[in-house]
Amino acid sequence: MPPREPAKPQGRPRRADARRNHDLLLAAAKEVFAERGAGAPLDDVARRAGVGNATMYRHFPTRQELLIAVYSDEVTELCAQGEALLAAEPPGDALFTWLEAFVAHVATKRELALALTDDRAGRRSELFDGWHESMRAVAEALLDRARRSGAVHPGVDAADLLALANGIALTGTGDSRTRRLLGLVRRGATG
């Protein structure tokens, strides 16, 4: 199940220049938010994209809409990486490669996710439920494949692995510590 995206206006398809501007704004927002946080001035996003503020606000009328688009795009990329790993051998390595990417996602996108605080009509809950379900489905598919190959114990479940990976991400440790902790989880999952 792909993540739910913000509603797009109905009607005719976007012109090529409008699609290009949307993509430029999204890429610029990812960079600016990664460098300066989710509260970075939106003028900086427009400037980095090489478009005017009016163009930015036509595509993303509010900061909330831009944050949703950026976070949704990040979740889509993470899930696509997991789906690509479904064909990778060996299955246990594929699972833990994706879990390492999941840890990096949680660790680096936490501020962005927390910035999505406007919960008009439960929209935040609906969006997060969709995003979480997408990530859980990818984790479950990778885990099921690893279980069938004997790479992990049959009793290991995706919710437990994601909870452990989330805990690792929230500790804020460096890459080598993350790999070490995931190695401990892996050894525990194979026994």
CB-facing half-sphere around the CA of 154: CA atoms within 13 A? 1
Please answer whether residues 85 and 98 qualify as being in contact, where contact means their C-beta atoms are separated by less than 8 angstroms.
Answer: yes
Mean pLDDT across the chain: 86
Give residue-wise pLDDT tens across range 115-147: 776 555 556 667 888 888 999 999 999 999 999
Looking at the predicted structure, is the pLDDT value of residue 190 above 60? Answer: yes
pLDDT of 47: 96
Looking at the predicted structure, is the pLDDT value of residue 28 above 60? Answer: yes
Task: Look at residue 3 and give its three-state secondary structure.
Answer: coil
Looking at the predicted structure, is the pLDDT value of residue 109 above 90? Answer: no
Q: Is there a cis peptide before residue 90, judged by omega within 30 degrees of 0? A: yes
pLDDT band at residue 15 under the 50/70/90 scheme = confident
Closest CA to 38 of 109, 125, 128, 130: 109
Q: What is the mean pLDDT of residues 75-79?
A: 95
Please answer whether residues 98 and 150 qualify as being in contact, where contact means their C-beta atoms are separated by less than 8 angstroms.
Answer: no
Please answer whether residues 101 and 160 qualify as being in contact, where contact means their C-beta atoms are separated by less than 8 angstroms.
Answer: no
pLDDT of 3: 46
A 10 A CB-CB count for 76 gives 15
